[in-house]
Amino acid sequence: MISSDAGPSVQIDPDRSKGWFRRLIPLIAARRAAFLVVAATGLTGLSIQVAVPMVLKRAVDHVVDAGTSADPIGDLTDHVLVLFVMAVASFGLRFAYRYLLFGTACRIENDLRSHVYRHLTRLSFSFYDRVAAGEVISRANSDIRSIQLLLAFGPLAALSAFSFFMALAFMLSIHVPLAVVTVATMPFVYVLGQKLRDRVFPLSWITQGRMAEVAMVVDENVNGTRVVKSFAAEPAQIAILARAANRLRWSATALIDARARFNPVIEALPRLGMVLVLLYGGHLVINGHLGVGSLLAFSGYVTMIAMPFRMFGFVLLQAQRAAASAIRIYEILDEEPEIVDRPGALFLREVVGRIEFRDVRFAYPGVDQGPPVLDGFNLTIEPGETVALVGRTGCGKSTVARLLARFYDVDAGTILVDGHDVRDLTLASLRSTVNQVPDEAFLFSESLHDNVAFGQPTASRTEVVAAARIARADEFVEEFDGGYDEMVGERGYTLSGGQRQRIALARSILIDPKILVLDDATSAIDIRTEEEIHQRLSETMADRTTIVIAHRLSTIVLADRIALMEGGRVVATGTHAELLSLEPRYAAILTHSDGVDEDDKAGHHRRGRV
């Protein structure tokens, strides 16, 4: 029961008016059984530990009272046995509660991390458009770790505080004035702790943010290392990191400075109590008002009551870090996804593949300047038809694909799939129907088989190979020593651009979508291979609706129909030959399109395409 998972339903309290720790209580409550065991073992072990000085007191007082005629060894035997049993029991109980406590804190950390990741998968593209990846990674790792450390050491501090009150009760039972002298310095500890907290919290917030800034710089430079090296920009990037690191160093140093000023004093004050105990207690013993055993017990209790205050500074600092981290995490968890299923959303079944855009208008969130990307976009694509979107850079071709899969919602107008508004369909059914192959193929650091089978993890090797053959990926995969078990590097950069695109295309072919969007998906593939891929696609996917977004003439002419875009709308449609003869804007775009040259066009003329 202690090791069981909290389950996917456990999440933080959504009430933003509550304090950061109160919002975390549902996650902690899911582990209540483990915490009850921790509390039971901890309190039992603590009670035994606090009772040790009283046993020592009785042992010493017994020997002193017995006088010189008594056998001191014989008189101490029973007390020694009791102390031995107490030591063994205390060790076992303290080991158990520490093991369970730290294990439970790690499980809560895992629950919180899983909850954050689940929420990140629900957030819309607009969130990732404005939040850097390094910032997200920092909050999902180091910030969660700060909370885990508090959950691990906070209960230890609470048990130490409990030991303080138990020790104080024993001291009061022995000698009230000496007990008062012992704790006389404690109010100063509280005052200094409050001052430390006031300084630490803002510094902790700044430090966590600057740690995220450093993480973001590192993440961008690691992922973009090829760009950095190609421009010989290493010195400039090192300087950027140095500036971010210096800002982090300043806030971290200020944090350490605050801790260095207060923590030594906080820890030294209980030791001053030990001085007062020895001074005043020694005077009482000399004058016969206090026994030697009682003074020995007080010395032991002074050590015990000093422990909570030695932990106080660390836990207080960690609490401030955790508070700052929790607020940063809640900023993510409180972010509401913009693209969600409507109540009663329809699960799309028996897909035909008819697509219709009606007066679609759209501008990206947060972009206030300039005209909308799409403004009055109208286009109908019949089932099984292949339509190419052609236009100048920035005319909205890729935006059409993103709106069709509902990565964003239109500002006005309607997008229909088989007569259903995409906003009335469940996201799961829509995105399993509409699959997009982007121009920048992203591969995972897994085997080639796993990358092809990403959308269908249970696919057999036979199914993976069949999809790879259609995408012409089998040709180079078989050249690897590991074949389909060959591991690719991060983002697939151990492969060429064309090889990555073919693996990404095979990945989409395997899930067999009814609507396929190729967004410059073959731009890095040579013309001959591209034509063979499209031929195989047409043979195996005759009833599939396909949208081709391309700049190369070799790709454009493979479509059944071409839609020319300008100013965020379709200005002309027709076959390649029709547009070339009737629409000068189409010819102008082909003339200036990247990757299209006279040899390319001439080759298609010779093959009878024009």
Which position has the token pair 């017990």? 297
CB neighbours of 282 closer than 8 A, spacing ≥ 6?
A: 295
What is 355-440+514-606's CATH number?
3.40.50.300
- What is the predicted pLDDT for the residue at 482? 87
Instruction: Specify the range with the lowest mean pLDDT, choosing from 5-9, 200-204, 214-218.
Output: 5-9
How many helices (H) and strands (E) are present in the chain, helices listed first?
A: 22, 10
> What is the separation, in whole angstroms, between the first and last Cα of the chain?
72
Residue 597 has pLDDT above 60, yes or no: no
Instruction: Specify the range with the lowest mean pLDDT, choosing from 296-310, 345-359, 522-536.
Output: 296-310
What is 20-333's CATH number?
1.20.1560.10
- Helix or strand or coil: residue 415? strand
Interatomic CA distance for residues 229 and 241, integer angstroms: 16
For residue 145, CA distances in Å to 97, 105, 367, 413 come to 21, 10, 35, 46
292-333 and 32-66 are packed helices; what angle lies between their axes, rounded to 10 degrees? 170
Residues of CATH 3.40.50.300 domain(s) within the chain?
355-440+514-606
pTM given for the model: 0.70
Q: Which range, 410-419, 442-451, 550-559, is most confident?
A: 410-419
User: Hey, how many other C-beta atoms are within 10 angstroms of the C-beta on 366?
Assistant: 8
pLDDT digits 0-9 by tens, 290-307: 888 888 888 778 777 767
Bridge-based pairing state of the strands 515-519 and 434-437: parallel
Tokens at 572, concatenated = 């002309």
| 479 band by pLDDT with thresholds 50, 70 and 90 | confident
Residues of CATH 1.20.1560.10 domain(s) within the chain?
20-333
| 355 band by pLDDT with thresholds 50, 70 and 90 | very high
- What is the predicted pLDDT for the residue at 346? 93
Instruction: Specify the range with the lowest mean pLDDT, choosing from 84-88, 396-400, 427-431.
Output: 84-88
Tokens at 318, concatenated = 């960690």
Average pLDDT over residues 341-346: 92
Q: Which range, 46-60, 145-159, 334-348, 491-505, is most confident?
A: 334-348
| 573 band by pLDDT with thresholds 50, 70 and 90 | very high
